[in-house]
Amino acid sequence: MRLVLNSVCCYSIIKILLLFITSLLYAPQAYGDNTYIYVVIHDFHSGIAIKKSDISLNYLSNVMSFENAKYIEIGFGDKRYYMSENPGFSTGVPAILLPTKSIMHVVKISQPLKQTFPYSRVFNIPVSQNQLRLLLQYIRNSFLIQNNEISPIGNSLYLEGNFYNGKLKFHLFNTCNTWVAKALKHAGLNINPSLVNTDNALIDQIAKWNN
């Protein structure tokens, strides 16, 4: 009987230790005061929202357009599909099967995220200041610089914002959801972008951080 109790006790201790180690592995590393970034899931598409006070858009030629925003949402997508007025099968298939030109979508948000996107899922992810810096670095490097500037090439799909040419290629293994995962990975968060190409795959990996 004592042997059984000792075994149960050891098992419980090991289980607690494993849970503790796992929580350390999956928790964002702390380098300073924490803030939050937000992953917004719009049906099959996802983007990253950041408090305006946490992001500088000085690299955009029309930076003044985003003044007085509460949040900035940035997304990545296929250029032809994203900018099409009536995207369909003929534009969607090449975007998935072949590496195509990408586009960046930047919008100004003036209200709370859940109020602005009542039918979307918003995930709050805590990050340190260093992780935020690395995230912003990845985002900035996703824009294509032409003639020494980054200029808008069209109006955003919704709200107030713009499209910009992207530097990266879009394809089945580098979708909008993959781009979000890569941005989080670059920031030092424990996520595997190679397993992410759909919104559900992204949700599976970020739900553990949602506060």
pLDDT by 10s per residue, the chain, length 211:
433 333 333 333 433 333 333 334 444 444 457 999 999 999 899 999 999 999 999 999 999 999 999 999 999 999 988 887 665 544 545 555 679 999 999 999 999 999 999 999 999 999 999 999 999 999 999 999 999 999 999 999 999 999 999 999 999 899 999 999 999 999 999 999 999 999 999 999 999 998 7
Q: Is 62 a member of any domain?
A: yes
Give the number of domains in the chain: 1
Q: Is 137 a member of any domain?
A: yes
Q: Is 27 a member of any domain?
A: no
38, 124 contact by CB (below 8 A) = yes
Q: Is 17 a member of any domain?
A: no
Give how far Cα 203 sits from Cα of 64, 150, 196, 210, Å: 33, 31, 9, 10
Q: Is 24 a member of any domain?
A: no
Residues of the domain holding 141: 32-209
Q: Is 69 a member of any domain?
A: yes
Q: Is 19 a member of any domain?
A: no
Q: Is 74 a member of any domain?
A: yes
pTM reported for the whole predicted model? 0.81
